[in-house]
């Protein structure tokens, strides 16, 4: 552990803060301050837990109240009606809420189209359904549940101390969880999902699993918070629990504070709650709320990513972070299983249609180990679709694809990526809100290389960035790069995954003559390292110069395959490209 | 010219001195630190329109109290917060009132949910807790709680009996009853009481509950009309009474006899409300306004309500509940000659208080009055009129049933 | 079991109530689908329009259609101005949610300060009147609202599908840079659409005032249902919004007529969940 001054000072400050907050109930402060801090804590926990899925991955949930309510009524039922000791009801509540979240996610994250909105609708619906069930069954029944008789262990001499400490615990837990996640593989995956879920999946991020985890964690924390809230308010009702504020405030607080930063929602929660209590408490409450609302609007207009990023920028300008340099580490020897010859990828009778258009009509092709296979054909011939089939971007209609003897055509894309197939996109699709370095590192983490520790992930990322000539842009964001750099970023991302088969989709388009030469050189070096390459291209001189074999597609059918010279002279090919007059 | 001027100046000076002496005297009479009474009200949120009534009442009582020299010789101050119609907010704000603002006395908020949430705070600090609108008396388990209502300890049992009695006295016995109730806690609780009574007396009944946020009552109205009951008990709170009547109107349905549990007073002005009954303990009309204090309150309320733009700017039961709560608090302070909550609680347990809603004790369970003394009013020609018990109502006001 | 008459009457009631949801959902659906702005303030503006209609009618003696004629253009200008702010500050979809939510609070506060939290009812002669359809009642004003909703929904759908401006807007929504590369003046079109969305809120408000009682808190009772209607009807699809609204309205009404009405939200939202799972083609 690095015990340099900054880090140590940081931990010490945190320890002092923690001690201070824990000691609050023991001080002889007016109880309102303790209660008010509790209110801050539970909003911090609600907002931060909401952001774990909705802020990081971008799946807006309007159902946080459902999980909060699950926790509230779990404790109300078990403690007040069934006599279960209160502290025991908290983990029960958290598990029930997490289970509900996982269940909802399991159902809705399978739906492919319109994911974002349908998720929002699902969460609203679950909230209404739950509220109605609770309200019309003996769980509540309409009269509310009175918890005044529930025995709560008294810390620091009263139940106030107990719920205060529980609230502090969950606020701290949620912040710590968000922090941990944002620096973990899970967090990187969630951020990638936010920017481009389909690409994340193809890069190896197990999107379905990650979303469920994030949702379950988010819901579980909300459930635990609900549990503690129940003893705070002592009389729970459906109206109060499933109120529109519980639905909307975590959203508003997160947006205000900054949705991608682990401390953003907490910051937003504290500021907004404090503002409301100051401005909106007295008889002119209505006007006070309007003033706070106006303040929110002005802040968000001026700081569109939320307040936290600006604070971070300010902090860094005062305390510049130590510049971290990464040393490039050469990746382990290529992942080619055996040096045996033969097909590494066997495509057999693959058909795919989109609506009424049949993009692939039954293509059979093999990619030999260690070769560069050029894939050419007029526009619309199915080249990109074939790449999409191989990488699992879309499911195929019929046919099989075998990768080193393993059938991959029914595997989810992230498993295919982990097995060792990577691609670059014709129009670069980097994760715009991750740095170039993070973009490359992500592939390293989730690809075939299966890297686990930070050192090798970032070390290898550095290697690939240097290999592709973009190391000087490592800390910039993709929108700041020019086209040439973005194309090479695509390449670096693909390479960092250590693929055995690399699919390049028109990687040369838009490059000038010199840049093309550099790229060709790069591609040869990649193949020499042991990677088989499928290479979609329009630029004929590149195809001819680079390919060991060429496959020609037209209108979804393979019309020729062979050496570049053979295929270029094939009359059918010539007719397809240049028209009848030039054939034969 | 100068002489007139000097004389005028002289007179002005004298007038000013006298005024200052009087003001000073009054201030001297109520010198010392003000007594602070803390409360939250539903000033915003779905219960806001009734919160307004309570706010106006509070202002009137404060004015009167300070003009009359305050309490125990000290001026009185009212610290009011908004609880947004939410129990959780009420609970937090009462803690603020007691531990930060360090108010001397507190009064409960409006409506059952707020009252119950804040009661736990009152209990923790052993404060006298007078509340004026708790519709579920048996939930008030704190011994320092006192109810300003006139409904007794079991309104869900006693009030439906009184309603049917009132109709019986007018010669009407409903042979079928429809009960339509909101799921707001107190409304649902009391409506269940009506259902129980109907079942006990073997009167066929239709029991419907609706969600507190229901937007459209067309289907419910159609269902009631289809059942064609002799009497409709409507457990409404706030705006739904209006909405249900509008829905009846669109179906061209005129209920034979109908009751509204906690309506907004402006219900009387809704077309189709004619003949609807409700409970009351105070209205802006004789016989109530024969009492000079009530007449004074009625005028003061009317003036402020008009200025505040209320559609029904007259006192009624809701204002009555509020006035009573204040009167009980003031009576206790004066009676015990103290601000000590324990002493006030002890005093109220043993004494009777005269409020705008009548003389009452706290000997019923949960510190309610020993008998259900609610009266019944009816919408006649767009105004609420007291119609039962017969002895209290004006001779010309009769409960008109089965029209 | 409810009799046939009751079922049919409930169907009518639900259909009409649902078309009001659709009318409210219209503007929200268009701005969310085509402008990528989630306008939570839409409900607040509709309620403001309702209060203004009531105020014009009750205090100033101006009948509803004149009130509408004044309100709708003013709201159109407001919509354009709002969009100007969004464009100038390059507001993202997420930020638009916060900003419009805050606007809703400001509008609610404004309404409450001026007209108090008490209920307001716009009494017009037509308020209680209904057409007779066999033995069934069709409330006149609700029917009018339904017709206007249908007109606006179909009209907007047609405008989007067949006119240059409509097609251009849809193109911009799909891919703005490409669309402008094709010469589409996407800026003025988006202002136009934003104004239209606000104008639709104004229209919805006029009918809300005519049909029901007003209270500032109503903003929040509409949100859940209308959000659901917008999503199930597909964002940016005006006819979808109307049909979604009617679907929910009918579900609610039928539930209320058959079982304990308090179960209504369960049924309508369960239907939505089912639709999400079964996923018929039109979703």
Phi and psi at residue B107, to the nearest 5°: -125, 145
pLDDT at A199 over 90: yes
Phi and psi at residue A43, to the nearest 5°: -70, -40
pLDDT at A583 over 50: no
Task: Catalogue the long-range contacts made by C64-72 (C-beta closer than 8 Å, 24 or more residues apart).
Answer: C64/C122, C64/C124, C64/C206, C64/C209, C64/C210, C67/C206, C68/C202, C68/C203, C68/C206, C71/C202, C71/C205, C71/C206, C72/C199, C72/C202, C72/C203
**pLDDT, average across residues C195-215:** 92
Lowest pLDDT segment from A477-481, B304-308, C54-58, C168-172:
C168-172
Sign of the C-alpha dihedral computed for residues C202, C203, C207 and C208 taken in this order: negative
Smallest CA–CA distance from C214 into chain B, residue: B239
**pLDDT, average across residues C224-235:** 86
DSSP state of C127: G
In what side-by-side order are the strands of the sheet with B76-82?
B76-82, B35-41, B105-106
How far off is chain C from B80, nearest CA to CA, in Å? 17
d(CA B146, CA B327): 12
**pLDDT, average across residues B193-202:** 96
Does A234 lie in the same domain as A358?
A: no
How far off is chain B from A37, nearest CA to CA, in Å? 11
Q: Does A300 touch chain C (CB under 8 A)?
A: yes
Q: Per the domain annotation, does A285 fall within a domain? A: no
Q: Angle B218-227/C238-258 helices, nearest 10 degrees?
A: 30
Strands A357-368 and A343-354: antiparallel
Residue given tokens 């010198």 in the structure block: B31
Q: Does B138 touch chain A (CB under 8 A)?
A: no
d(CA C33, CA C13): 29
Q: Residue A200's closest CA among A315, A5, A58?
A: A58
User: Given this model, what pLDDT does residue B4 score?
Assistant: 64
- Name the neighbours of B, counting chains with at least 3 Cβ pairs within 8 A: A, C
User: Given this model, what pLDDT does residue C82 score?
Assistant: 94
Q: CA geometry: angle at A14 spanning A9 and A15, to 5°?
A: 100
User: Given this model, what pLDDT does residue A516 score?
Assistant: 86
- For residues A437 and A518, the answer to whether their CB atoms sit within 8 Å is no
Sign of the C-alpha dihedral computed for residues A167, A172, A173 and A179 taken in this order: positive
Return the domain boundaries, chain B: 35-153+288-372, 155-286+376-388
User: Given this model, what pLDDT does residue A155 score?
Assistant: 78
d(CA A143, CA A584): 89
Between the alpha carbon of residue B235 and those of residues B96, B178, B231, B251, C221, the distances in Å are: 34, 11, 13, 21, 19
Q: Per the domain annotation, does A326 fall within a domain? A: no
Chain C residues whose CB is inside 8 A of the A301 CB are 85, 89, 91, 99
Interface touch A142/B185, C-beta < 8 Å: yes
Q: Residue A491's closest CA among A513, A475, A515?
A: A515
Report CA Rg, chain B: 23
- Name the neighbours of A, counting chains with at least 3 Cβ pairs within 8 A: B, C
Chain A residues whose CB is inside 8 A of the C235 CB are 117
Residues A493-502 as b/e (b if ≥16 CB within 10 A, e otherwise) read bbbbbbbbbb
pLDDT at B27 over 50: no
Topology alike, domains B35-153+288-372 and B155-286+376-388: yes
Interface touch C95/A300, C-beta < 8 Å: yes
User: Residue B178 — very low, low, confident or very high, per pLDDT cuts 50/70/90?
Assistant: very high
Does A224 lie in the same domain as A352?
A: no
d(CA C53, CA C74): 13
Total length of chain B: 403
Which residues of chain C have a Cβ shorter than 8 Å from any chain A Cβ? 40, 85, 89-92, 94-95, 97-99, 101-103, 105-106, 108-110, 112-113, 220, 223-224, 227-228, 231-232, 234-235, 260, 262-266, 268-270, 272-273, 276-277, 279, 283
Residue given tokens 């999503």 in the structure block: C231
Does A470 lie in the same domain as A366?
A: yes
pLDDT at A337 over 60: no
ipTM confidence: 0.87
User: Residue A584 — very low, low, confident or very high, per pLDDT cuts 50/70/90?
Assistant: very low
pLDDT tens by residue, A282-334: 777 888 889 999 999 999 999 888 899 999 989 888 888 877 777 787 776 55
Torsion over CA of A129, A133, A139 and A142, rounded to 10 degrees?
100
Smallest CA–CA distance from A259 into chain C, residue: C94
Structural domain count of chain A:
2
Which of B49, B219, B309 lies nearest to residue C253, judging by beta carbons?
Answer: B219
Which of these three, A197, A226, A248, is where a domain ends?
A: A248
Q: Residue A128: give the domain boundaries.
A: 31-248
How far off is chain A from C171, nearest CA to CA, in Å? 18
Interface touch B87/A243, C-beta < 8 Å: no
d(CA B148, CA B150): 7
pLDDT at C94 over 70: yes
3-state DSSP call for residue C81? Answer: helix
- Joined together, the tokens standing for residue B243 give 């909405």
Q: CB-based contacts of C25: which residues, under 8 Å, 6+ apart?
A: C226, C229, C230, C233, C241, C242, C244, C245
Does A503 lie in the same domain as A368?
A: yes
d(CA A53, CA A56): 6
Q: Per the domain annotation, does A576 fall within a domain? A: yes
User: Given this model, what pLDDT does residue A514 score?
Assistant: 87
Strands A501-505 and A421-424: parallel
Q: Per the domain annotation, does A53 fall within a domain? A: yes
Chain A residues whose CB is inside 8 A of the B136 CB are 143
Q: Per the domain annotation, does A303 fall within a domain? A: no
d(CA B87, CA B248): 33
Does A166 lie in the same domain as A49?
A: yes
Torsion over CA of B104, B109, B114 and B118, rounded to 10 degrees?
10
Find the CATH number of the domain harbouring A498.
Answer: 3.40.50.300
User: Residue B26 — very low, low, confident or very high, per pLDDT cuts 50/70/90?
Assistant: very low
d(CA A259, CA A265): 7
Instruction: Kindly report the CATH number that applies to the domain delimited by B155-286+376-388.
Output: 3.40.50.2300
Which of A142, A148, A237 lies nearest to residue B120, judging by beta carbons?
Answer: A148
Residue given tokens 């604070």 in the structure block: A311
pLDDT tens by residue, C159-176: 988 888 888 888 877 777
- For residues C99 and A300, the answer to whether their CB atoms sit within 8 Å is yes
Q: Residue A276's closest CA among C102, B279, B403?
A: C102
User: Given this model, what pLDDT does residue A173 score?
Assistant: 96
User: Given this model, what pLDDT does residue A112 score?
Assistant: 67
User: Given this model, what pLDDT does residue A334 score?
Assistant: 53
Query: Could you count the other beta carbons within 10 Å of the beta carbon of residue A571?
Result: 12
Residues A510-541 as b/e (b if ≥16 CB within 10 A, e otherwise) read bbeeebbeebbebbeebbeeebbbbbbbebee
**Superfamily for domain range B35-153+288-372:** Response regulator (3.40.50.2300)
User: Residue A27 — very low, low, confident or very high, per pLDDT cuts 50/70/90?
Assistant: confident
Greater confidence (C280 vs B42) lies with B42
Q: A169 — alpha (psi -120 to 50), left (phi > 0) or beta? A: alpha
Smallest CA–CA distance from B216 into chain C, residue: C17
Q: CB-based contacts of B90: which residues, under 8 Å, 6+ apart?
A: B40, B83, B109, B113, B114, B115, B117, B118
Which of these three, A232, A248, A264, is where a domain ends?
A: A248
User: Given this model, what pLDDT does residue B9 score?
Assistant: 55
Smallest CA–CA distance from C223 into chain A, residue: A244
Chain C residues whose CB is inside 8 A of the A259 CB are 94
Q: Residue C169's closest CA among C155, C188, C145, C153?
A: C188
3-state DSSP call for residue C220? Answer: helix
- For residues A303 and A261, the answer to whether their CB atoms sit within 8 Å is no
Q: Per the domain annotation, does A439 fall within a domain? A: yes
Residue B235: its H or E element: strand B231-238
Chain C residues whose CB is inside 8 A of the B269 CB are 121
């Amino acid at each position: 552990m690095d015990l340099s001054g900054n880090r140590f000072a940081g931990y010490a400050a945190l320890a002092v803060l923690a001690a201070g907050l824990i000691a609050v109930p023991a001080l002889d402060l007016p109880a309102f301050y303790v209660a008010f801090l509790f209110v801050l804590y539970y909003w911090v926990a609600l907002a931060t837990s909401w952001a774990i899925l909705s802020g990081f991955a971008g799946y807006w949930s309007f159902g946080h109240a459902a999980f909060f309510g699950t926790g509230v009524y779990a404790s109300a039922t078990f403690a007040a009606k069934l006599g279960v000791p209160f502290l025991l009801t908290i983990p029960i509540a958290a598990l029930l809420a997490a289970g509900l979240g996982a269940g909802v996610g399991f159902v809705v994250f399978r739906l492919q189209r319109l994911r974002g909105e349908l998720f929002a609708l699902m969460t609203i619906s679950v909230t209404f359904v739950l509220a109605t069930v609770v309200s019309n069954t003996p769980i509540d029944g309409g009269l509310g549940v009175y918890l005044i008789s529930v025995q709560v262990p008294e810390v620091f001499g009263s139940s106030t101390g107990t719920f205060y400490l529980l609230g502090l615990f969950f606020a701290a837990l949620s912040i710590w969880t968000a922090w941990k996640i944002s620096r973990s593989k899970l967090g990187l995956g969630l951020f990638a999902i936010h920017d481009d879920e389909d690409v994340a999946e193809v890069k190896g991020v197990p999107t379905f699993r990650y979303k469920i985890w994030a949702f379950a964690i988010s819901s579980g924390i909300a459930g635990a918070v609900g549990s503690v809230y129940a003893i705070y308010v002592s009389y729970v009702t459906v109206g109060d629990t499933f109120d529109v504020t519980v639905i909307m405030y975590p959203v508003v607080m997160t947006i205000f504070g900054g949705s991608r930063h682990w401390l953003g929602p907490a910051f937003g929660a504290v500021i907004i709650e404090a503002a409301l209590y100051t401005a909106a408490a007295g008889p002119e409450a209505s006007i006070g709320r309007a003033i706070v609302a106006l303040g929110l609007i002005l802040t968000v207009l001026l700081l569109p990513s939320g307040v936290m990023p600006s604070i971070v920028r300010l902090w860094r300008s005062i305390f510049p972070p130590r510049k971290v340099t990464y040393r490039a580490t050469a990746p382990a020897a290529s992942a080619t299983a055996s040096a045996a010859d033969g097909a590494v990828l066997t495509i057999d009778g693959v058909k795919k249609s989109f609506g009424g258009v049949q993009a692939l009509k039954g293509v059979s092709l093999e990619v030999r180990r260690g070769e560069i296979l050029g894939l050419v054909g007029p526009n619309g011939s199915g080249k990109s679709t074939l790449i999409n089939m191989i990488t699992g971007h879309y499911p195929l209609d019929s046919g099989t694809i075998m990768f080193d003897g393993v059938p991959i055509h029914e595997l989810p894309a992230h498993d295919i990526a982990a097995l060792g197939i990577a691609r670059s996109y014709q129009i670069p699709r980097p994760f715009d809100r991750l740095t170039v370095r993070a973009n490359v590192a992500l592939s390293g983490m989730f690809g075939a290389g299966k890297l686990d520790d930070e050192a090798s992930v970032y070390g290898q990322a550095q290697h690939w960035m240097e290999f592709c000539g973009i190391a000087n842009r490592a800390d910039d964001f993709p929108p700041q790069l020019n086209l040439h750099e973005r194309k090479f970023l695509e390449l670096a991302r693909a390479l960092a995954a250590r693929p055995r088969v690399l699919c390049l989709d028109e990687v040369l388009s838009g490059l000038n003559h010199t840049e093309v030469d550099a790229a060709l050189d790069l591609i040869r070096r990649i193949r020499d390292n042991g990677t088989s390459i499928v290479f979609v291209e329009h630029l004929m001189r590149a195809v001819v110069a680079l390919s060991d074999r060429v496959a020609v597609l037209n209108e979804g059918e393979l019309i020729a395959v062979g050496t570049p010279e053979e295929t270029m002279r094939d009359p059918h090919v010539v007719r397809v490209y240049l028209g009848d007059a030039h054939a034969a | 010219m100068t002489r007139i001027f000097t004389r005028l100046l002289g007179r002005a000076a004298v007038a000013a001195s006298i005024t200052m002496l009087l003001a000073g005297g009054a201030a001297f009479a109520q010198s010392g630190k003000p007594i602070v009474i803390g409360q939250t009200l539903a000033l915003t949120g779905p219960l806001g329109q009734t919160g307004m009534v309570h706010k106006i009442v509070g202002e009137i009582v404060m004015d009167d109290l300070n003009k009359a020299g305050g309490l125990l010789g000290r001026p009185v101050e009212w610290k009011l917060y908004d609880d947004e119609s939410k129990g959780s907010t009420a609970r937090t704000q009462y803690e603020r009132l007691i531990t930060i603002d360090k108010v001397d006395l507190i009064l409960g908020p409006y409506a059952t949910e707020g009252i119950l949430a804040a009661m736990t705070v009152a209990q923790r600090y052993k404060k006298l807790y007078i509340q004026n609108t708790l519709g579920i008396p048996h939930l008030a388990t704190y011994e320092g709680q006192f109810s300003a209502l006139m409904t007794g300890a079991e309104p869900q049992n006693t009030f439906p009996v009184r309603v049917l009695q009132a109709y019986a006295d007018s010669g009407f016995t409903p042979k079928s009853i429809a009960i339509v109730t909101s799921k707001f806690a107190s409304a649902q609780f009391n409506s269940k009481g009506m259902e129980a009574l109907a079942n006990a007396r073997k009167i066929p009944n239709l029991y419907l509950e609706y969600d507190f946020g229901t937007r459209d009552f067309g289907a419910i109205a159609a269902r009631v009309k289809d059942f064609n009951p002799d009497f409709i008990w409507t457990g409404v709170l706030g705006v739904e009474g209006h909405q249900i009547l509008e829905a009846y109107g669109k179906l061209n349905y005129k209920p034979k006899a109908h009751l509204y549990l906690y309506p907004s007073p402006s219900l009387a002005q809704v077309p189709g409300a004619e003949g609807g009954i409700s409970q009351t303990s105070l209205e802006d009309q004789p016989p109530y306004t024969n009492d000079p204090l009530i007449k004074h309150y009625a005028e003061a309320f009317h003036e402020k309500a008009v200025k505040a733009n209320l559609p029904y700017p007259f006192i009624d039961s809701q204002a009555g509940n509020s006035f009573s709560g204040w009167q009980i608090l003031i009576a206790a302070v004066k009676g015990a000659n103290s601000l000590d909550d324990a002493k006030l609680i002890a005093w109220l347990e043993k004494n009777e208080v005269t409020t705008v809603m009548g003389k009452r004790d706290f000997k019923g369970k949960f510190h309610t009055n020993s008998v259900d003394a609610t009266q019944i009013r009816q919408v006649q020609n767009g105004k609420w009129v007291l119609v039962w018990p017969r002895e209290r109502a004006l001779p010309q006001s009769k409960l008109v049933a089965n029209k | 079991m409810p009799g046939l008459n009751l079922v049919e009457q409930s169907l009518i009631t639900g259909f009409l109530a649902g078309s009001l949801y659709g009318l409210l959902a219209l503007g929200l659906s268009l701005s969310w689908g085509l402008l990528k702005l989630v306008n939570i303030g839409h409900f607040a503006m509709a309620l403001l329009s309702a209060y203004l209609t009531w105020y014009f009618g009750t205090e100033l003696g101006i009948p509803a259609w004149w009130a509408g004629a004044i309100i709708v253009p003013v709201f159109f200008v407001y919509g354009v101005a709002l969009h100007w702010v969004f464009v100038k500050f390059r507001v993202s979809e997420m930020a638009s949610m916060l900003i419009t939510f805050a606007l809703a609070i400001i509008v609610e506060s404004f309404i409450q300060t001026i007209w108090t939290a008490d209920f307001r009812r716009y009494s017009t002669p037509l308020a209680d009147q209904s057409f007779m359809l066999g033995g069934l009642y069709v409330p006149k004003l609700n029917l009018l609202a339904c017709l206007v909703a249908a007109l606006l929904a179909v009209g907007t759908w047609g405008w989007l599908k067949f006119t240059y401006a409509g097609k251009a807007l849809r193109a911009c929504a799909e891919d703005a840079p490409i669309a402008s590369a094709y010469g589409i003046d996407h800026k003025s079109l988006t202002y136009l659409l934003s104004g239209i969305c606000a104008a639709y809120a104004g229209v919805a408000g006029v009918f809300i005032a005519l049909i029901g009682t007003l209270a500032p808190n109503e903003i929040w009772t509409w949100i859940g249902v209308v959000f659901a209607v917008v999503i199930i009807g597909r964002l940016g699809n005006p006819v979808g919004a109307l049909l979604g609204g009617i679907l929910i309205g009918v579900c609610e009404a039928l539930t209320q007529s058959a079982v304990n009405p308090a179960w209504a939200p369960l049924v309508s939202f369960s239907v939505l969940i089912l639709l999400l799972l079964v996923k018929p083609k039109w979703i």
